[in-house]
Structure 1
């Protein structure tokens, strides 16, 4: 097994793999290879039908990941990172990967998310376009500038609706603790996910849990990638040391 870890990154609602590509340069000296996975319905997969079911998405992502890792002999060492909807997808993908030969999941990083079984009190699915976008802005804590352009809005809205529907309809099929360490991360000023809600991720694992806060709101990761990646690397190093004890 290589000493380097592949950090598999899953996007939040409406986002694509390109959000994580700037992380690759920052993470490389830390011994981490950042691998963003792309969901259909955006960027180079804009013409593909987006997922509306998290279980189906996780199965598709598993196939995509195994293809990206290739057939190099030996086990692949991976960690998963997901923010908001991405945290749910990372959780589901982790569960599938723990039963996959030649893949060793060393850590799950769940960002900006309550416990995956905790439903939202307010929903956006089914609202008209203006009300939907207003509700999504409340959820995200910001508004994507692209949605202000009518042509871009028409292009983005179907995928954003599918992502939100997938998130709001999600229920875990399996609530057994993961055999993988979990770290929950949130912005200290996040008004959407409380510290208590973030710490509830402790129930998802029997292999060790940490909760970490960084400066910023719900979308803290958009402005603090270097600090965040250093924290991820430190957690991975600590986990590796604990395995060697």
Structure 2
């Protein structure tokens, strides 16, 4: 049954580099009856672990859109949320969904500079240990699975592809979206400055808002409920 059939608003959640849809499963309970939480499932992780991961954001968005629309249902009301890599992927999806009779009410981007910002510090192409150290430095924490050789071998290709996809991202269009954008940042994020996070103002012809939470780049790991409360408050402003 699609979101449209149930008369609900979907919260479409796009994962960050190295993450899969399961990161957002706890949000289903936290969201209560406010939204149906719909995580985007990308190849190369979890149930799609054996599939080749994408290395291009625009390609990933275009190839995922049919499955996403089928799950949401045409005419569905949708709020998009994406963190870091997920933020720019959500931005591309917002453009595509606007042509597919899915009503995007709001785009919430997290831990990300504006879409036209070129990333100066990169992990792509580094030898394995240097790559993992750079990713750990970027994220502010090390995923415990990377300390297990078998799991590392499984995760590393996807993580490398995600980093390449993010670091080489160029928007598919210079046209801003027409939906309101809320940009969220951890106040001690060393990867994204407050000024860069507010660069999303130029990505919309509608309203823009900016929110900071305590914490670093991965602040949302511990603040899922608080993030959902901001999304609810932002959505309420639009009604």
TM-score interval, smaller chain: over 0.9
For residue 78 of structure 2, what is the aligned residue in structure 1?
78
Residue 32 (str. 1) matches residue 31 (str. 2): no
Q: Where in structure 2 are there 5+ consecutive unaligned residues?
A: none
Residue 22 (str. 1) matches residue 21 (str. 2): no
Residue 124 (str. 1) matches residue 128 (str. 2): no
For residue 147 of structure 1, what is the aligned residue in structure 2?
146
What is the deviation of 1:27?
A: 0.4
What is the deviation of 1:142?
A: 1.2
- TM-score under structure 2 length normalisation: 0.95
Name the CA distance, whole Å, in 2 between partners of 1:92 and 1:142: 27
What is the deviation of 1:43?
A: 0.3
Name the CA distance, whole Å, in 2 between partners of 1:218 and 1:125: 19
For residue 41 of structure 1, what is the aligned residue in structure 2?
44
Residue 54 (str. 1) matches residue 57 (str. 2): yes
Contact conserved, 1:37 with 1:64, CA < 8 A, in 2? no
Q: How many residues align?
A: 235
Structure 1 stretches (4+) deviating beyond 4 angstroms? none
Superposition RMSD in Å: 1.2
- TM-score under structure 1 length normalisation: 0.93
Residue 224 (str. 1) matches residue 216 (str. 2): no
For residue 66 of structure 2, what is the aligned residue in structure 1?
63
Contact conserved, 2:69 with 2:100, CA < 8 A, in 1? no
What is the deviation of 1:199?
A: 0.6
**Which SS does the other structure have where 1:183 is aligned?**
strand
Paired residues for 1:85-96 under 5 Å: 85-96=85-96
What is the deviation of 1:33?
A: 1.2
**Which SS does the other structure have where 1:22 is aligned?**
helix
**Which SS does the other structure have where 1:186 is aligned?**
strand
CA deviation profile, 1:73-109 (whole Å, cap 9, x unmatched): xx200010000000010000001111112x1000000
Contact conserved, 2:107 with 2:181, CA < 8 A, in 1? yes
What is the deviation of 1:3?
A: 5.8
